[in-house]
Amino acid sequence: MEHAKLSPSGASRWATCPASLNKSLLYENKTNPQAQWGTVVHDLGEKMLKNKNIDVDSYEEEQLEVASEYADYCNSVMGKAPVVLIEERFDLSCISPNTFGTGDCTILNEDGTLHVIDLKTGRNLVYADNNWQLMLYGIGAIEELKMLYTITSVKLHIVQNRVGHIDTWELSVDALMEFKEWIIGRAKLALSDNAPFNPEEKACQYCPHQQNCNALYEHVTTVITGDFDDLSSVEDTTDKLSTQRIKNILDNANLITSFVSAVQDSAIEKIEAGDNIDGYKLVESRTNRKWSDVEEVQRYLKERNDGVEYYKEPELLPMGKILKILNKDEGINEFIIKPSGKTTLAPITDKRPAITGVCDEFEDID
């Protein structure tokens, strides 16, 4: 799918932190299973709204359910609407040249209300109130329809039925046009040679540059250390954080943890590539034991016929309790496996053995 440089879906990032636009281009645009799952559901929802034939055997049951509920919601808003646009690509060159965005479902009802409906398949709640992505779709729709129709108001809809969340927010056309003028300025700033950084939770959350961002590092450091240029001076103050400093840290907690997580991911990538980070190594994360085959375990326990109730309907007792009951019965061990853990970063003092870096697996080639 083609994406504009100033994409509506990334507006919360580039309009908040203009420098993030060009910095994010330095990184590969990676996808993930969750995004791929969502793409399938969007395609399925489009087919349902356009009454296309669907091979239900090609989809997961949850995908069919989410897409069907989304289509039902759109149809409930639709009524006898004179305009229904499904997966419509809107020209947003009024915001910046070569800018566009694709709306999931856009409906103009007979009363002049423009409905912008966006399907979200993730589990982190998204809200319609001042949603810049949907507001940009609304601007694109008005640009496309204004010569033929009168639009009196705009209503934004988030359909996130996978987590039971539907949210709406209505604003006037005048308010949307005020937003348009504001974001035109932000777009110009983002495309400028000296676009400023502005670390902020909403902007940094999905920014690929956050792991290397000096501006974010400085912001996090300032939040944690407060006004002290020299941390040694803290020793001469009270041993308790002030309520204002606590508030400041709490206000930035998500941003701080997101930054730390991104830096840890970066460290893992560097060590896997053969770099050395003094004091750290890669280890396998700890995992819990599990049954290799629950049905086989049930059969094994049933054949023992020892009068012990191993079930707390409808499931087996926890593994720990069963092993305690069986005591030294080694026969049960053949049904126990311990999955491999994920690669994780740990201090060099961690007792777990280090995972050899990928580059170390190969001998030098002359």
- Domain-by-domain residue ranges, the chain? 8-191, 201-258, 290-337
| Angle formed by the axes of helices 61-78 and 33-49, nearest 10° | 50
Q: Rounded distance, CA 287 to CA 44, Å?
A: 37
Lowest mean pLDDT among 64-78, 206-220, 322-336: 322-336
Q: Where residue 363 falls among pLDDT bands split at 50, 70, 90?
A: very low
Task: Report the topology of domain 8-191.
Answer: Lambda Exonuclease; Chain A (3.90.320)
Q: Rounded distance, CA 224 to CA 226, Å?
A: 6
Position 149: which residue type? Y
- Of residues 313 and 63, the one with the higher pLDDT is 63
Q: Is 85 helix (H, G, I), strand (E, B) or coil?
A: strand
Residue 225 has pLDDT above 80, yes or no: no
Q: What is the pLDDT of residue 365?
A: 39
Cβ neighbours for 228, distance < 8 A, ≥ 6 positions apart: 234
DSSP 159-222: EEGGGTEEEEEEEEHHHHHHHHHHHHHHHHHHHSTTPPP---HHHHTT-TTGGG-HHHHHHHHH
pTM of structure: 0.71
Q: What is the pLDDT of residue 360?
A: 46
Query: What are 238-281's pLDDT values in tens digits?
Result: 566 778 877 887 888 888 888 888 888 888 888 888 888 888 88
Specify burial of residue 74 (Cβ count, 10 A radius: 0-12, 13-18, 19+).
buried
Q: What is the pLDDT of residue 362?
A: 40
Q: What is the pLDDT of residue 166?
A: 96
Residue 121 has pLDDT above 70, yes or no: yes
Mean residue pLDDT of the chain comes to: 88
- Mean pLDDT over 317-339 rounds to 84
